[in-house]
Amino acid sequence: MGLWRKIMRTGRVAEPAPARVPGEAPSKAAELAGSVQIRHVDAGSCNGCEVEISSAFGPVYDAERYGARMVASPRHADALLVTGPVTRNMEMALRRAYDAVPEPRLVIALGDCARDCGVFAGAYGVAGAVSDVVPVDVEVPGCPPEPEAIVAAVRRLTGR
Amino acid sequence: MVTGALGTGLQVIAVALGSPLLVGVMRQVRARLEGRAGPGIGQPWRDLRKLLRKEPIAAHGTGWPFRAAPLLVAGTALVVAAVVPLVTTVSPLDGVADLFAVTALLALGSVALALGALDTGTAFGGMGASREMAVLALVEPTILVSVFALSIRVGSTSLGQIVTATVEDPLAVVSPASVLAAVALAIVTIAETGRIPVDNPATHLELTMIHEAMVLEYAGPDLALVEWASAMRLSIFLGLLSSLFFPVGIATAGAGVLAVLLSVLVLVGKVAILGVLLAAGEVFMAKLRLFRVPELLAGSFLLALLAVAASFFLA
Amino acid sequence: MNLVGTLFVASLSCCALAAAAALTAPAKARLWLAGLCTAAAGACGAAAGVAALAGQSWSAWLPGLLPLAGARLALDPLSGAFVVVTGTVAVCAAIHGIGYCRHGLDGRVFQAVLPVFVASMLLVPAAASVSTFLLAWELMAVSSLLLVLAEHRRNTSVRRAGLWYAVMTHLGLVAILVGLVAFAAGAGGESFAQLREAGLPPAVKTVVFLTTLAGFASKAGIVPLHVWLPRAHPEAPSHVSALMSAAMVNMGAYGVVRVGLDLLHGGPAWWWLLVLAAGAVSALYGILQAAVSSDLKRLLGYSTTENLGLVMVGVGAAGFLAATGIPVLATLALAAALLHVVNHAAFKTTLFLSAGSVLYATGVRDLDALGGLRDRMPYTTALFAAGALCASALPPGNAFVSEWLLLQSLIHAVPGSGVAGAVTMPLAVGMIALSAGLAVATFVKAFGVGFLARPRSAEAGRAEEVPPVMLGGTALAVACCVALAVAPTVVVPALGRAVAVVFPGRDVVSGELTLRLAGVSGVVSPLLIAVALLVSVMAVLVLVRVAATRRARRAARLWDCGAGPMSARMEYTATSFAEPLQRVFDNVLAPESDVDVTPMKESAYLVERVRFHARVPDRIEHRLYDPLIAAAAAVGRRARVLATGSVHRYLGYGFWALAGALVVLVVLW
C-alpha cells in the first residue's frame, strides 16, 4: 500500500515531449516506421555514456515513448548503440554484433569517443573510432552526451 | 449454428488482432505507474509490422526444428483460440478439444519453441529450453487438477459445458472449489505466460531469462511470429480465466448475431481489465529467484487439490 | 481350425522356420532369412490377433504336447489385443534387426533364439491353462535372458544386467507359480475355464492375487520391482530392447487383467487401489529417473516403467470402479489401459529402434556425447522426433488419446466412488499430470539434446545414415503411431471387445470423427485436432508469405555475444538440461556428486586439475535392494560352516532332515 500511495503522490515524472529537432533521418529509418529496437554495445566506454543512456531511457526523458526499446540480442535489434572508442579487444565483437543484426540495420555512435576516439585517440589499445569498424548512420556528440541529445537521436530513427 | 460459427470466427480474429494491443495496454499501464509516458498501446503492432519487413536470418548450424518452431507456436495458439469458448459457447468446434486438449496444445507450442532453441546449440538457447520445460512440467499437474475441480460440478471437461453451467448458475463461482481453482489457475497463467514473478518479459539479463532466452536467435518475421504467438497465448489464458470464472456476456445457445457482436466487445473489455490488473500487480512485485518458482507452483498445486477436495466434501 | 487358429499356427510355424533358418543357413543369407521369417511370423500373429479382436475365438487342446495335462491354447479378444501388439512389434524389430545385427550379432544362436522369444510372447497370452501359461512364461524369460546376454563379451556391464534380470525374472516366476498353483489347487483343475468357475474363499483369493501381482508387476517393471528394467533394456541389443520394452512388459499387464479381473472376477476395492497406487508411483518415479538420465536407452527403459505404471493405473482404476459399482467407468478405464498398452508399444518400438540406429551409426548412447544428428542422419532424426512427440502425450501424438481416456475415467469417478475415490482420484490425476509434464521435458531433452544442434563427440560427428532396411523397420512403427493417433475411433471400439471379455455388454466410445465416451460426457477429436493444426500452420505460413517483405533469408553466424565461435562444449548437455528438475526433486532423487581437486606441487592454492563427478543412482535399488543383497550374502557366509566338504556330515544332514520330517508327519497326522 505504501508503494501505491507513493505512485499516486508522485504521478507522472516524464517531462513533456519536446518538439522534434529537425534533421535528416537516415533513409533506412523510414522502413522502421516508428519502432526501433536498440542493442547497446559498449566498445570500450568509460561508462559515462552508459549513465546517460539509462537516464535517457529512465522515467524523466522516457525515450521509450517514441517507440524505441532496448533489447537483449542484436538479432532483435534494428540499431546498434555503440559507445566508447573501439578497443582492440572489442573490435571483432563489434563487427560480429553488426553482422548479427538483420537488415535494415543502423548504427548510432554515441559520445565523442565513439565518433573520433576522444581523449583516447592514438592510445595503444584503441583500434579506432566506430566508423572505422562499422558504417555509422547517426552520431551523437558530447562527453557524455546529454540525455536530451540521445533522445533526439533516437527520435530521428523512430520518426516520432 | 450460424451464430456459433460467426462467434468462433470473430473470436479468432479478436485474439489474432487484439492480443498485441493487450500487450500494448499492459506496457502502457506499467509505464504510467512508473511515472513514464509510455509508447502507446499500438506500439506492439508497430513492432510486429517492422519485424515483418526485416530480413530473416538462418544462423549457421540450425535446421528445420529452428525454422518450424515459430510456425508451430503460432499455429497452436490459433487452434486454441478457435476451440475455447471466449465469445460463444456453441462453437461448431466445441467437440474437437476439451480443456485437457487445450492444455496439451498450448504445451505443444512451448515444446516447439524449446526445440527451436535447442536446435541453435547456443548456451542461452539450451538454458531457456531447460527452464521452460522444468516450469512446464511443474505447471501441468496444477492445470489438470484444477480442470478436474471445475469439471466435477458439470460432470464434463468440455469447456463449452463448464462455461454454460456457470452462465446458468453464476453464483457457483463463489463456491470454495471454484475460488481455489481460480487462484491456482491464475498462478499457472502467470507462469505459463512468463510474467513476473516467474519470468520477466522485459529483462536484458540472459542469466535470469526463461522465455526470452529461447528466442534470442530469432530475427525478422520469425521473431514477429514468436512475439505474436506469445501475445496470443497471454490473451487466450486471460480470456479463458474470464470465461471460466466470469462468463458474463458470452453468447449461449440461441443468441442472435447482435448478441455475438456484443459478446466480442465484452470479451475485449474483460481481457483488458485482467491485463491491467496483471500489469499493475507486476509493478508491485519483484521476480522470484528461479529456484523459488517451484515453491510457488507447488503452492498452486496444493490449492488445486484443495479445490477438488472442497468440491467433493463441501458439495 | 478357423481363421484365427490357422493364422496363429502359421505364425508359430514361421517362428520355427526362422529358428531353423538361423541355425542352418550360411552366414550371408542368415540375417535376411531369419529376419524375414520372424517378420512373417509377427505379421501372421498380428493378423491372428486382429481376427480374434474382431470376435472370432479359437481354442485348442493338445493332450500329447505336455505330460499330465497337455497344452491348452485359446485366443479370445483380450488375448488377441496382446497378440496383435506382440506381432506388430516383432515385424518392426525383425526388419530393423536385419540391418542392426550386421555388426557382430549375426551368430547362429542369437538369430535362432530371437524367433523363439517372439513365439513365447505369442504363446503367453494364448495359454489357457496354468501349466501352459507357466511354461510359455518361463520360455519367454529364458529366451529374453539369452538375448540380453548377447553382447556380454563386449561389455562387462551386460553380465551384471543379465544377472539382475535372471534373478528378478525368476523370483517373479516363483511368485506367479505359487499363486497359480494355489489357485489351481483350490479350483480343482488347471485350465483357465475351470479356474474361472472356481469358488475360492476370500483369503485364498487374496493370496493368489497378491502373489501373482508381485510376479506380474516385476515383469511390467512396476516400482519397487523395476530394478532389472533400467539395467537390462539398455544392455540388450536395441531391437531386442524394443521387443522387451514394447511387447514383453505388456505380459505383466496382461497377467494382472487375466488373473485379477477375468479368472478371479475382480475383488475387494483395496486390491485395486494397491494396483492403482503402485502404478501411479511407478509412473512418477520412472519418468523422474528418465528425466535426469543421460543414457538414451536407460532413459527409454525408465520411460517404460512410467508407461506401464500408467497402464496399471488404468487397470487398478478399472478394478476399483468395478468393485465400487460403476461399471461404465470401469469399462472406460480398462479400455484406456489397453489403448495405452497399444500406443506405448507403437512409440516405444519407434524410439528403441531409432536409438538402435543411433547406436549402430555412432556406437554412443550417452546423450551428452551425441547431438548434431539432424544433418547426418535426417531420416532417423525425423523418425525419432515422431516417436518422441507420441511419447510426450501431446496432440497430435497417439499417447495423448490414451492418457485422455485414462484421465476421463478418473475424473468422472469422483462423485460416485465415495470417499476412497474422492481421496485417490485427485491424487492419481495429479501424479499422472506431473508424469505427463515430466515426460514432455524428458523427450524434449532426448530429442533436442540428442539429435539437434552440433555433435559433441567425434563419434557423433562421423555418424552416417543407417541402411534402408533399418529405417524401414522404424518407419513401420511410426506408421502404426500415426494410424493410432488419427484413428482412435476405429481402434478403441476394437479394444472394447477385449474389454468385454472382462466387463461384458458395454460400448466404450462412439463416433467416427470425434471420440464420444459412452455413458459419461466427454468428447475429443484427435483427427480434427491434427487437421486443425495442419490448417492453422499452413495459414500462418501463408500469412507470413503475404505480410512479410520478400527479403532473402541470410545465413549468419550464431550469435555468440561477439566472443568467437561457439564450440560444442558450450552447448547444453542432457545433464545440464535436466539440472533444474534434478534440483527441484532433490529430495526424491538424492543425486550424488563429488569434486576431486588435485593441487599443484608448488602450492595448495594452485589447482592442477578438478574432476567433477555426478550421478543419480536409483534410490530404490540403493535403499531396498542393497541391504537385502548384503543380508543374503551375510547369511551365505555364515552358512559356510555347515558345508565343510565332509561327506559324512552331509549324510548326517540327510538323515536328520528325514527323521525330522517323519517326526513332523507323525505329530501332525
pLDDT tens digits for range C174-220 = 999 999 999 999 998 889 999 999 888 999 999 999 999 999 999 99
**Percentage with pLDDT > 90 across chain C:** 72
**Percentage with pLDDT > 70 across chain C:** 100
How many angstroms away from the CA of B74 is the closest CA of chain C? 7
The domain in which residue C352 lies consists of 266-531
Confidence of residue C77 (pLDDT cuts 50, 70, 90): very high
B 142-161 → C contacts, CB under 8 A: 143-145, 147-148, 151-152, 154-158, 161
Partner-chain contact C561 A93, CB within 8 Å: yes
What type of residue sits at position C188? G
Distance between CA C98 and CA C32 in Å, rounded?
A: 6
- Helices and strands: H and E segment counts in chain B: 11, 1
- Residue C126 domain-assigned (yes or no): no
Closest Cβ opposite residue C584 in set B54, B118, B294: B294
Q: Which residue has the higher pLDDT, A17 or C381?
A: C381
How many angstroms away from the CA of A34 is the closest CA of chain B? 7
Partner-chain contact B46 A33, CB within 8 Å: yes
pLDDT mean over B9-31: 95
Partner-chain contact A70 B204, CB within 8 Å: yes
Closest Cβ opposite residue C433 in set B57, B79, B140: B140
A71 in contact with chain C, both atoms CB, cutoff 8 A: no
Q: Mutate which of A37, A54, A55, A65 to test chain B, going by most B C-beta atoms within 10 A?
A: A65
Question: Domain end: C484, C506, C531, which one?
Answer: C531
- DSSP string spanning C531-565? HHHHHHHHHHHHHHHHHS--PPPEEE----TTSSP
- Residue C238 domain-assigned (yes or no): no
**Percentage with pLDDT > 70 across chain A:** 100
Q: Backbone phi, then psi, for C203, in 5-degree steps?
A: -65, -40
Question: Domain end: C509, C531, C553, which one?
Answer: C531
How many angstroms away from the CA of C433 is the closest CA of chain B? 5
pLDDT tens digits for range A31-85 = 888 899 999 999 999 999 999 999 999 999 999 999 999 998 999 999 999 999 9
**Percentage with pLDDT > 90 across chain B:** 60
Q: How far is CA C663 from CA B130, C559, C649, C650, C659, in A?
A: 69, 86, 21, 20, 6
Closest CA to C467 of C615, C594, C360, C393: C360
Fold of A35-158: Rossmann fold (3.40.50)
Radius of gyration of chain C (CA): 26
Distance between CA C480 and CA C465 in Å, rounded?
A: 22
Q: Check if the beta carbon of residue C271 is closer than 8 Å to that of residue C99.
A: no
pLDDT for residue B315: 63
Q: Identify the closest residue of chain C to A102 by CA–CA distance.
A: C554
Q: Check if the beta carbon of residue C450 is closer than 8 Å to that of residue C574.
A: yes
pLDDT tens digits for range C461-519 = 999 999 999 999 999 999 999 999 999 999 999 999 999 999 987 788 888 888 888 87
Partner-chain contact C448 B114, CB within 8 Å: yes
C565 in contact with chain A, both atoms CB, cutoff 8 A: no
The domain in which residue B73 lies consists of 2-313
Kindly report the three-state secondary structure assignment for every residue of C461-493: HCCCCCCHHHHHHHHHHHHHHHHHHHCHHHHHH
B288 in contact with chain C, both atoms CB, cutoff 8 A: no
- Classify burial at C594, counting beta carbons within 10 Å of its beta carbon; exposed 0-12, middle 13-18, buried 19 or more: exposed
pLDDT tens digits for range C251-267 = 999 999 999 999 999 88
Q: How many domains does chain B have?
A: 1
Distance between CA C426 and CA C442 in Å, rounded?
A: 24
A 98-127 → B contacts, CB under 8 A: 100, 102-104
Partner-chain contact C562 A90, CB within 8 Å: yes
pLDDT mean over A85-103: 94
Does residue A132 surpass a pLDDT of 90?
Answer: yes
The bridge status of strand C607-615 relative to strand C592-599 is antiparallel
pLDDT tens digits for range C337-367 = 999 999 999 999 999 999 999 999 999 999 9
Partner-chain contact C433 B52, CB within 8 Å: no
Closest Cβ opposite residue C584 in set B63, B96, B138: B138
Kindly report the three-state secondary structure assignment for every residue of A113-160: HHHHCHHHCCCCCEEECHHHHCCCCEEECCCCCCHHHHHHHHHHHHCC
pLDDT for residue A19: 86
Closest CA to A79 of A92, A67, A65: A67
Does residue B79 surpass a pLDDT of 90?
Answer: yes
pTM above 0.90, yes or no: yes
Q: Check if the beta carbon of residue A49 is closer than 8 Å to that of residue A111.
A: yes
Q: Are residues C364 and C462 in the same domain?
A: yes
- What does the block give as the cell for C266? 475382480
Q: Are residues C597 and C506 in the same domain?
A: no
pLDDT mean over C571-583: 91
Distance between CA C422 and CA C416 in Å, rounded?
A: 9
Distance between CA A143 and CA C301 in Å, rounded?
A: 64
How many angstroms away from the CA of B36 is the closest CA of chain C? 31
Partner-chain contact C562 A75, CB within 8 Å: no
Q: Mutate which of B26, B28, B34 to test chain A, going by most A C-beta atoms within 10 A?
A: B34
Partner-chain contact A62 B36, CB within 8 Å: yes
Query: C: neighbours with 3+ CB pairs under 8 Å?
Result: A, B
Partner-chain contact C437 B119, CB within 8 Å: no
B220 in contact with chain A, both atoms CB, cutoff 8 A: yes
Q: Check if the beta carbon of residue C90 is closer than 8 Å to that of residue C243.
A: yes
B36 in contact with chain A, both atoms CB, cutoff 8 A: yes
The bridge status of strand C58-62 relative to strand C71-75 is antiparallel
Q: Backbone phi, then psi, for A38, in 5-degree steps?
A: -120, 130
* Spatial strand order in the sheet of C509-510: C509-510, C515-517, C523-524
Q: Mutate which of A96, A98, A101, A134 to test chain C, going by most C C-beta atoms within 10 A?
A: A96
How many angstroms away from the CA of B84 is the closest CA of chain A? 32
pLDDT tens digits for range C609-642 = 889 888 888 888 888 999 999 999 999 999 888 8
Partner-chain contact A72 B209, CB within 8 Å: yes
- Element of type H or E holding B234: helix B220-245
Closest CA to C244 of C90, C44, C16: C90
pLDDT for residue C562: 85
Partner-chain contact C559 A102, CB within 8 Å: no
How many angstroms away from the CA of B211 is the closest CA of chain C? 15
How many angstroms away from the CA of A36 is the closest CA of chain B? 8
- What does the block give as the cell for B24? 500494448
pLDDT for residue C563: 85
Q: Mutate which of B136, B143, B148, B291 to test chain C, going by most C C-beta atoms within 10 A?
A: B148
Q: Where are the domains of chain A?
A: 35-158
- Helices and strands: H and E segment counts in chain A: 7, 7
The strand pairing partners of C515, in sequence order, are C524
Give the torsion sign (CA, B80, B85, B88, B91).
Answer: positive
Distance between CA B285 and CA C33 in Å, rounded?
A: 69
Q: How many domains does chain C have?
A: 2
Distance between CA C121 and CA C125 in Å, rounded?
A: 7
How many angstroms away from the CA of B212 is the closest CA of chain A? 9
Q: Give chain B's mean pLDDT.
A: 91
Return the residue matching grid coordinates 515430466. Answer: C438
User: What is the value of ipTM here, to two decimals?
Assistant: 0.95
B52 in contact with chain A, both atoms CB, cutoff 8 A: no
pLDDT tens digits for range B130-142 = 999 999 999 988 9
With beta carbons under 8 A apart, name residues in chain B contacting C564.
none
pLDDT mean over C47-64: 90
Partner-chain contact C529 B308, CB within 8 Å: no
- Residue C314 domain-assigned (yes or no): yes
Q: Identify the closest residue of chain A to B59 by CA–CA distance.
A: A100
Partner-chain contact B37 A62, CB within 8 Å: yes
Kindly report the three-state secondary structure assignment for every residue of C375-413: HHCHHHHHHHHHHHHHHCCCCCCCHHHHHHHHHHHHHCC
**Would you give the DSSP letter of residue B155?**
T
What type of residue sits at position A31? E
- What does the block give as the cell for C333? 478405464
A33 in contact with chain C, both atoms CB, cutoff 8 A: no
Partner-chain contact C572 B130, CB within 8 Å: yes
Q: Mutate which of C559, C561, C566 to test chain A, going by most A C-beta atoms within 10 A?
A: C559
Distance between CA C322 and CA C336 in Å, rounded?
A: 15
Query: A: neighbours with 3+ CB pairs under 8 Å?
Result: B, C
Distance between CA A115 and CA A108 in Å, rounded?
A: 10
- Residue C287 domain-assigned (yes or no): yes
Partner-chain contact A12 B284, CB within 8 Å: no
C546 in contact with chain A, both atoms CB, cutoff 8 A: no
Q: Which residues, including other chains, have CB under 8 Å from residue C93's CB and lie 6 or more apart?
A: C42, C239, C240, C242, C243, C349, C353, C473
Partner-chain contact B47 A37, CB within 8 Å: yes
- Element of type H or E holding C362: helix C327-362
With beta carbons under 8 A apart, name residues in chain A contacting B204.
70-72
Q: Which residue has the higher pLDDT, C154 or A13?
A: A13
pLDDT for residue C164: 92
Distance between CA B16 and CA C666 in Å, rounded?
A: 89
pLDDT for residue C134: 94
Partner-chain contact B217 A75, CB within 8 Å: yes
Distance between CA A38 and CA C274 in Å, rounded?
A: 60
Does residue B209 surpass a pLDDT of 90?
Answer: no
